[in-house]
Structure 1
């Protein structure tokens, strides 16, 4: 730093003392700067100067490229390549989707907290009531039976309160609600990435805007936020795959002619993969969903019944009709209800049911996507065949060679299509 100061002072003094015209001053400044020894600047050993200098150059280069890209896109929009109104609509949809991602994430955390807090609170109420019933039965035969009525009344109130809370908790299934919002968050993030990709590619039309709007509304319908009125049925009569995608419409034909990446071999391969997914993967997850639903129904009914029975037993402790069985019922039914509540909500059986149902919906969506492309006779309206094959392979966790081997296998009876789930 000491080697630089004299040069800088001389430059300033020479510039201030020079009483010449402006062009001559510029020449003097340039000559003074050029006369500064450059080797001394390179010899300065201050940490981070070279790195920061390179970072500034890199940042300047990135900003220059970004500005040139923006100017180019703006020129395209002015010249008719991209409609600015469509760009504004796409950005509006992108902002709405980003807001929904945050909303579903926050509500997922809230409902997950509901599940843990209600589980702990209800189990605490049940175990406290069972303890009071046991103490009341012992105090009833003691010389001083005064504590027995108070303990009986307290245990009965606790059991009745636990029964009401259990009924509400089993009706709304907080763990299943949290899983629904978790799936919605993931799907809205996926849609957000799709919109970003469309914007970056630049070849979008008003059809893309309508399609993305339909996807947003379909997700809102599949995973509603409110509980009252719009909540999904937690104990349906028939288990069906989750559906979060809209009805597919015919796409506009592409400008590029040809087979669009499709051939007869690829069509046969895609048909066989659809058959395997429908026969093996989707059906297996629906079967698991039905088992989880049956278990959840049993636990949701049995736990409140047991707490209600325990409330009756606690109220009859020490009564003339009590033959010694009331205390046993009050304690045993309460303990068993606590175990069932822990299995149902601690094990998150509702969440498991929703997870299996969503997995079945995932395979259903893939089947619909492939079947829609195969039904479309106009090849230019289809999605590119090579791109679709790669997407299917990635979603199933298989390479392209593995995907073709799966389709070539005779019947595929012993194999599932997916290696991920």
Structure 2
């Protein structure tokens, strides 16, 4: 269903973009021809109606942001398929024999969190398109009450014996990665996301305003001395409105903002996974150290040997401002 609706809303974006631009440009041509045409009243009335219709259409489309809606559903489709693969893998490994109520509850929490993160309904219930604060997207459930911090050491440095694959070196690597993700990767996507949001907000206001101004100017076409400048104002306003609309929806600013939010959410999830493992005092209840390190490396687009360079980042003597490299290399 998410896949089908995502395709539908992507079609909406293309259809509404071309339809609105056609209305606006046709009205601009009419406004340009009106002063020299015998039927000036009919042309200016048609231009005014078309420009007013374009302004209303732009305002409605800017409110729902079809390209952002399509990106939401694309992400939802990907995450639902990932959840399905996880459950099928658990069943294939014979997990039902050891499944507990907590496992079932965890799976249900993931389903409900994903359903809330990417709603299907358009109105009401869709995500806010112009939020006051840019936050990472969240499609995973809130974790249970935090585990107490570790109080015992791992013993001999570099030893993995009896520690479920966890060593002091690995913990330092994970703490270094955690710090870099918080200071660099997530903040970079949120910063750029805020810039895109502000640009999109400005374009969303400018398009209908220009089309509305052009519609108002078309009323004065053919009215004595004001007719000449009114025609030019209507043509210029209509052309600029079409350009702004193309920049906003042809450039898919809403999709770009949603993409940046999801990238920030991707790094936020890695943070929480690392924090959950480091915060678990019982090493046997953690995910296997070597397996977990491999998963983190793959998500960041790095090799296991690349993770060692982050060990020094765990030191409090290094300031966040001095960190130059990003943790992720995929995007």
Residue deviations 1:47-71 (CA, integer Å, cap 9, x gap): xxxxxxxxxxxxxxxxxxxxxxxxx
1:289 matched to which residue of 2?
Answer: 193
Q: Does 1:104 align with 2:2?
A: yes
Determine if contact 1:250/1:381 at 8 Å carries over to the other structure: no
Residue deviations 1:132-180 (CA, integer Å, cap 9, x gap): 00110222xxxxx3x1111111111101111111011000000000000
Deviates more, 1:116-125 or 1:129-138: 129-138
Determine if contact 2:169/2:311 at 8 Å carries over to the other structure: no
Residue 320 of structure 1 and its aligned partner are, at CA, apart by: 4.0
CA distance in 2, matches of 1:110, 1:404: 46
Of 97, 102, 119, the residue aligned with 2:17 is 119
Moved over 3 A (4+): 406-412
1:186 matched to which residue of 2?
Answer: 78
Of 304, 313, 336, the residue aligned with 2:217 is 313
Residue 250 of structure 1 and its aligned partner are, at CA, apart by: 7.4
SS at structure 1 position matched to 2:226: coil
SS at structure 2 position matched to 1:324: helix
Residue 323 of structure 1 and its aligned partner are, at CA, apart by: 5.1
Residue 248 of structure 1 and its aligned partner are, at CA, apart by: 2.0
2:114 matched to which residue of 1?
Answer: 219
Paired positions, count: 308
After TM superposition, list the pairs within 5 Å mapping 1:336-415 onto structure 2: 336-408=240-312, 411=318, 413-415=323-325
Q: Does 1:300 align with 2:204?
A: yes
Distance change in 2, residues 1:180/1:291 (3 Å)? same
After TM superposition, list the pairs within 5 Å mapping 1:9-408 onto structure 2: 103-139=1-37, 145=38, 147-203=39-95, 204-206=98-100, 207-249=102-144, 258-320=162-224, 322=226, 324-408=228-312
CA distance in 2, matches of 1:231, 1:212: 24
Residue 416 of structure 1 and its aligned partner are, at CA, apart by: 0.6
CA distance in 2, matches of 1:399, 1:323: 69
Greater gyration radius: 1
CA distance in 2, matches of 1:149, 1:218: 57
Residue deviations 1:305-350 (CA, integer Å, cap 9, x gap): 0000000111110124615210011000000000000000000011
2:155 matched to which residue of 1?
Answer: none
2:330 matched to which residue of 1?
Answer: 420
CA distance in 1, matches of 2:171, 2:179: 13
SS at structure 2 position matched to 1:217: helix
Residue deviations 1:384-416 (CA, integer Å, cap 9, x gap): 111110000000000100111233468571211
CA distance in 2, matches of 1:361, 1:209: 24
- Return 5+ residue gaps in structure 2 as ranges: 147-160
Residue 194 of structure 1 and its aligned partner are, at CA, apart by: 0.7
SS at structure 1 position matched to 2:8: helix
CA distance in 2, matches of 1:418, 1:407: 15
CA distance in 2, matches of 1:407, 1:348: 39
> TM-score normalised to the size of structure 1?
0.71
Distance change in 2, residues 1:249/1:384 (3 Å)? farther
CA distance in 2, matches of 1:184, 1:265: 37
> TM-score normalised to the size of structure 2?
0.90
Determine if contact 1:303/1:337 at 8 Å carries over to the other structure: yes
1:53 matched to which residue of 2?
Answer: none
Question: Which structure carries more relative contact order (alpha carbon 8 Å, separation 6+)?
Answer: 2
Deviates more, 1:115-124 or 1:264-273: 264-273
- Return 5+ residue gaps in structure 1 as ranges: 1-102, 140-144, 252-256
Residue 258 of structure 1 and its aligned partner are, at CA, apart by: 3.6
